[in-house]
Chains A and B, each alone.
Chain A
């Protein structure tokens, strides 16, 4: 198989620059694996015979340079020594790009990520195109590891310690212009001039016979140590205690200044191997894997459009992500005031989503937006999503009316969160093209979308629905039509338990801190404030009705709502807010005299949620354990380093979870009784 090929050699005034193009025949993206390294070695051997004066390393793909090391390959290594070995092999082969006696220039025409950036860093120089697709950086820390192909050692040598510390610890991907400012690339030119620029740079470097080095005052030992200390502090604050990789990346960058490249690389490889086998890294790899392997479905036509009925926050969010993803969107709404608010809201979503893109990209997205008072002009759309008021009668009427307005093969979807897809489907003459596509609020930020079949939904409709979710750059999870679907169903016991704790006199802050300490992005009470207490109260009532005896309605919520406390939206919830910033818990809450151990609080919150998640598997609301993991990580912010709810139970041990639940059931009541699925899990475990 071919991964690398020589392009036409460039020659001017007797100076010859060989062009080596990374172009995997078997994959859409250039990813680095053993074969790629082996073949690169062979090509570099062949280079000697060509007697070239320079080597330009580019990509054969359009607007894509290299996506880094193959993640499947990384995930397959479960032994620290083997991990270090693999890293060392990469360092050895890519390192030849630096050790060649002729200048090497990386020609970056698109995404250049992780191992791709390291490949470029090994070269003597780098040029990048002005294209929007260019993104350069070392995101390894986001997978719980450090760069392993020499990234931490080369980065300080190329961009200086200060920039290296930021890039390595945040894993940030930067666009071309920022890369130039940071010194990550030497020049940014339009794509058409990339190779011409690279050629001239190679020629200029040919005289010096060695790669250029950076010197900076920050590299003096005292200054460097101080900067490291500041950066580590900062990184700890951002990443929290659960992610060790950023700190390690920082230390390796500092080390690069005081050791040889060779020794530094050895240390880097060792650290990579060590981190690779940590549970954090395994969980993050699991999450990465879930995301990449989520169903693809049938992709819609590139120019296919979406119509959204209802211009509320959800509707304009859905329209906004549609536009940002490159598709036309039509926003339909009956009320002129709401339409105006929705259209302008959609424009804001687009501007925010595309803020780093060229202004022409933003303008084009705005031009793909059209609107209408009431449904009209729907003949050209491929999907209609209704996001109107949650009222079964109204929804049914609107859906039935839609059937007349759209073409026969247009998909009809409901964004309902509380009504049954099955029941809504009865309004339609052709229910086979109807499904639930449930986005979460706020739409632009929440990556997960639930895709729900009705009883008559055709397999083709499901495929296309999933394809649309993908096209909108969201992560689809297929779930059964059951009250609350999957995410809200799992979330409910967590929130209910938090409210119960509050009723028992535990302070909202203690509860929130316990959840956050576990790794949740925010505690249950802050989440309730975000959702809105009025909304939450309604949802609680729905659940109480849907699962009689299992969930009680929440009188606390009603009391707060009656007291005019609606959550963050009016600045008053469980917490007080001023200008959208949280101040402290509301003074009107009852005194909290009940102090509980953090671990006890966490168990009550998390294990009850875990039990519900497994019950969803038992009831086949979700088909596979991976779906529960995907839904909890991307839908309710379950900590990625724990790999998802099901994975968490596995990590802790199913029998331990069951035993603890039995204890809690004894203490607190039958709501903690382990479900059959958990009992089976723990049996098969032993």
Chain B
């Protein structure tokens, strides 16, 4: 038993709300990451009935902090009417930033530093900056330092066309600087090495869309409507879901990361969307005293490193470590969420988890965990259908998992993500049968 539990401090997920996830460059384009985060956090507070003055700390994930909000968590805390005495932290663990925020909240609560923590993630993939090359910056600096008119003119004339060639920060961010592979290329590595074919990937993608479409009505419990400036109507649902899509249609798409013989296409990879998600993590005793029925208990968590070129296997490394710390087995889990960066990467994790040899090689773990069937994996669809606003997905899947456990009357679940750069993170949730409905 951990020291925290001995002291009786246990973290619970009290409530959560998120914006719809909408395609980048689309209807949310006018909203920055803090704009989205502000809406999610404000609605979380108003709808849960927990006052802004009850929050002890704020932790949010954001993979691409905008230039005008270096610490976006602090910005949305103040913009949502939280007191300036409430501290706020932005965390960045790439694709798991939203989950990292929950882990930080859990630690603050278990460690007794805070009773109520607002956490989650925000991301505007639409608003990733366009960057000028370094040569442009240098010449601009030189221009500013030039004193005489002559020097100014000669510096101005030294600019070359290539200095103005913009670099798209989003694409740069999706490339691992250490192994030199883009995220899509790491997915191709898994497909190649573990022998996961195109058909299998496309089938998984179709399943994700179908499940997300079917769950849409239930998702209304977590989604808050967003009115984007100038928009004709209120956005109430995720807009990247394609329920009609078939395997045959997907088969027509061309691979983008290995054009000739690759298997990863835009159809079986996550789409790029904007969104935000805000959760309330609190001390279980506080929630009880406050008369709030939690959605789930945050049992434990883990984070593990894997090879950067096989970053998609992160969950295979994180899950066994989390399960061990809780004393649980994979079979006990009613539901599992593995964030769908790529269909192949989810399938690879399932394959590795079931194979002792692969576990040793890729997850540095001595044994297999067992079979993880599709009927308890990503049951409400995943990022392939909803998109993956990088810093938000970790918070979204934890919230979804909690709701799914509630709706199905299941007790135990795990949520995990692979992380660009080669990491995996996992959180275990528990919902004791004797709790009322949240």
Contact = CB atoms under 8 A, between A and B. Distances in A.
B236 interface: yes
Contacts of A328: 81
A337 B46 contact: no
Contacts of A344: 227, 229-231
B225 A373 contact: yes
B437 to A, nearest CB: 19
A343 interface: yes
Nearest to B44: A377
Contact of B231 (A303, A340, A368, A372): A340
Interface in B75-93: 79-81
Given A336-B236, A340-B233, A379-B46, A371 B51 contact: no
Contact of A336 (B49, B51, B233): B233
A458 interface: no
Nearest to B49: A379
B400 interface: no
Interface string B42-57: 1100110101000000
A347 B233 contact: no
A368 B227 CA distance: 14
B232 interface: yes
Interface string A177-188: 000000000000
A110 B231 CA distance: 39
A336 B230 CA distance: 14
A477 interface: no
B23 to A, nearest CB: 18
Contacts of A379: 46, 49
Contact of B51 (A340, A377, A380): A380
Interface in A386-445: none
Given A336-B233, A376-B47, A380-B51, A370 B225 contact: no
B79 A371 contact: no
Interface residues of B, number: 21
B18 interface: no
Given A367-B38, A367-B80, A380-B51, A339 B43 contact: no
A377 B234 contact: no
Interface string B227-268: 101111110100000000000000000000000000000000
A370 B43 contact: yes
A367 B36 CA distance: 11
Interface string B108-139: 00000000000000000000000000000000
A339 B231 CA distance: 10
B233 A377 contact: no
Interface string A100-133: 0000000000000000000000000000000000
A98 interface: no
Interface string A332-352: 000011011001100100000
Given A343-B227, A344-B227, A377-B47, A336 B38 contact: no
A306 to B, nearest CB: 13
Interface residues of A, number: 20
Interface of B is mostly: loop
Nearest to A373: B225
B102 to A, nearest CB: 23
A371 B47 contact: no
Contacts of B229: 344, 347
Contact of A377 (B43, B79, B80): B43
A337 B234 contact: yes
Among B46, B51, B224, B229, the most chain A Cβ lie within 10 Å of the Cβ of B46
Contacts of A373: 225, 234, 236
A286 interface: no
A474 interface: no
Contacts of B231: 340, 344
Among A368, A376, A380, the most chain B Cβ lie within 10 Å of the Cβ of A380
B232 A370 contact: no
A190 B367 CA distance: 68
A251 interface: no
A140 B234 CA distance: 48
Interface string A349-379: 0000000000000000001101111001101
A572 B150 CA distance: 64
B81 A372 contact: no
B221 to A, nearest CB: 12
A502 interface: no
A568 interface: no
B47 to A, nearest CB: 5
A372 B79 CA distance: 18
Contacts of A343: 227, 234
Given A330-B46, A343-B234, A377-B46, 10 more contacts: A328-B81, A339-B234, A344-B230, A344-B231, A347-B229, A367-B38, A368-B81, A370-B42, A376-B47, A380-B46
List the 4 shortest-distance A-B pairs measured between CB atoms, nearest first: A377-B46, A336-B234, A343-B227, A379-B49
16 contacts: A303-B81, A330-B46, A336-B225, A336-B233, A336-B234, A337-B234, A340-B232, A340-B233, A344-B231, A367-B38, A370-B39, A372-B225, A373-B225, A376-B46, A377-B43, A377-B47
Interface of B: 38-39, 42-43, 46-47, 49, 51, 79-81, 224-225, 227, 229-234, 236
